[in-house]
Amino acid sequence: MNLKRKLLFERILHGKANLEPVQSDLRVVYERPDGSGISVLIPDPNWMAMAQAGGYLPPVDVYLNLQCEWTNAEGETCITDSITHPGPGWTGGKVLNGHMLHLVHPIDPLTEEQAIEYLIQKDIPRTVWQDTRANRPKFIIVHVSQLPATRAFRNAWTISEAA
């Protein structure tokens, strides 16, 4: 079956039916842009299977260039990327160029590390991974065993500068 000619949703259906899920031991720990604490990103096992198989996922650039249009009560409009909400009072979020998800040829197989780098760009705000002015990284990739065993004080976690 030539998946390259299929819509993204059809490729996802095919992957779900034919690939064994891959539970990754890698996590991405990052500081939320609003300074409200630490988040931990976990790759989805079915997504990781598709990433490592190749032929299913669009290039990450497609997500980075997705444009969403928002409007407010004053009738003003603004455009954001697909993971950024412009703030209170803005509604809609219509994707203007969603066809790119389907038309751009899917990517070749990725290693687990490459897949994590892809997810960082896709699902973590740009201000976290693209901040060139900060004097320390705002995220780290860790093995799951490196996370604190207890999550009781998770809301107080910080990323050590030594990390």
Partner 1 sequence: MTIVAETIEDLSSADSLDIETLINCAPKQWLNLNGIGTIAARDSFNSASLTDLGLGSYQHSTINAFANAGYAFSGAAGGTSLAITFANYDVTAPRTATVSAFYALDEAATALDAANVDSMGIGELA
Minimum distance of partner 1 from residue 153's CB (angstroms):
10
- Of the pair 3, 63, the CB lying nearest partner 1 is at 63
Contact by Cβ (8 Å): 38, 133:
no
Site of tokens 């890698």: 26
- Of the pair 75, 88, the CB lying nearest partner 1 is at 88
- Of the pair 93, 132, the CB lying nearest partner 1 is at 93
- Of the pair 41, 159, the CB lying nearest partner 1 is at 41
Minimum distance of partner 1 from residue 133's CB (angstroms):
24
Minimum distance of partner 1 from residue 131's CB (angstroms):
19
Contact by Cβ (8 Å): 111, 121:
no
Whole-number Å distance between alpha carbons of 112 and 100: 25
Q: Nearest CA to 40 among 56, 55, 24, 62?
A: 24
State the residues that interact with partner 1 by CB under 8 A: 8-9, 12, 16, 21, 23, 27, 32, 37, 39-47, 50, 57, 63, 66, 68, 80, 82-85, 87-88, 90-95, 98-99, 101, 119, 122-123, 144, 147, 151, 154-155
> What's the order of all strands across the beta sheet hosting 77-80?
77-80, 68-71, 91-95
- Residue 68: strand pairing partners: 80, 95
